[in-house]
Amino acid sequence: MVTRFQTPARAAFAPERAPVDLLNRGEPSFRHDLQELTEAIQADRRIALEQARQLQLAAQLLLQDEAARLGRLDPQDLRAAAMAEGASRARAQATQLQQEARLAAVRVPMVRKTEALLHGRVTDEAGAPAGPLTVTLVDARGEAVEGVAPVEADAAGYYALVVPAEVASHLPAEGRYAVSLAHGGAHLSPPMEPQPLSAGMVGFQPVALDAADLRRLHLREAFPAAPSPAAKAIRKKTAGPSSETPPAGTPPTPAQPPEEPKDLDPSERDEHPGEPKPPARPEHPGRSRPPDDSDKA
């Protein structure tokens, strides 16, 4: 027999929910039925948190508009400052609800008594997800545990490393285990206290990365420092006019023809530029001095 739970049609308002199918076959279907119920409850929680976040964002906009209106009427009105403070609180609550909605999307895998589980979240110092990461189970020496496949952290920063039964049965009792992180070819072993792990155990290992760790894993880019006023002055002084780049979309300046000299007589202009000019012929061949009065006689 299959039991199906659905939203009643007479509800005035209710979020759209997926039907939940329970097999009701006792021990054989217990795991399936429990997963179905857990999934339905978590989905409802996530939808409710998202709706609450939307309400907080709407309240923020209304409070901001009212604060601006009161400020225009009377800059000294204390209600404007109270409205602005309320808008800031609504924004902070919306951010918190967004974080809770991400956590509601996390699904902790169910493990058998012969298996083991190490799970947690990888976040930054503010508690936000660090980003896409590959998480590997390592021993106390930092070597990957054979038989346990690496996993990818999800949008909430959550990871779950399930140790199969055949591997968990061979884990030494005195063994200690931690996680190693990788992203974009960069690897990091965050400082943490390794913890025991054996068959039937579930370990929780959260990881908080600081700014240096995030840059080392290429999850946060370092912004270059702004040039100082002295550096800007030196750059402006040394840069020539040709170094300036015209803004995008500016049409190219057409080439101007070479300007002819203005102080030349039209008869002396070169009509065929580029051709070699013949040597100038002297007015009195064979003479190296200018003529004088004796030559005329």
Residue 223: which pLDDT band, with cuts at 50, 70 and 90?
Answer: very low
Over the stretch 187-204, which tens digit does the pLDDT of each residue have? 999 888 899 999 989 999
Q: Looking at residue 1, what is its pLDDT?
A: 46
Which of 183, 216, 249 is the C-terminal boundary of a domain? Answer: 216
Q: Decide if 114 contacts 199 (C-beta within 8 A).
A: yes
Give the CATH number of the domain where residue 208 resides: 2.60.40.1120
From the list 278, 131, 148, the residue with the least C-alpha distance to 213 is: 131
H-only helix segments in 105-182: 165-168
Whether 277 has a pLDDT exceeding 80, the answer reads: no
Q: What is the pLDDT of residues 50-67, one digit of tens each?
A: 999 999 999 999 999 999
Inter-residue contact 137 to 189 (CB < 8 Å): no
- Do 153 and 85 belong together in one domain? no
| pLDDT tens digits for range 163-186 | 999 999 999 988 999 999 999 889
User: Is 129:157 a contact under the CB 8 Å cutoff?
Assistant: yes
pTM of this prediction? 0.57
Percentage above 70 pLDDT, the chain: 68
Clarify whether residues 95 and 129 are in a common domain: no
Q: What does the longest C-alpha to C-alpha distance in the chain come to?
A: 146
| pLDDT tens string 240-267 | 554 445 555 555 555 555 555 555 555 5
**Residue 106 near residue 154 (C-beta atoms within 8 A):** yes
Residue 45: inside a domain: yes
The answer to whether residues 124 and 204 belong to one domain is yes
Strand spans (E) along 101-235: 116-124, 134-139, 151-152, 158-163, 177-183, 186-188, 202-204, 207-209
Q: How many domains does the chain have?
A: 2
Which of 33-47, 138-152, 218-232 has maximum average pLDDT?
A: 138-152
Domain span including residue 10: 3-104
Buried b (16+ CB within 10 A) or exposed e, 247-262: eeeeeeeeeeeeeeee
Looking at the fold, whether 140 and 203 belong to one and the same domain comes out as yes
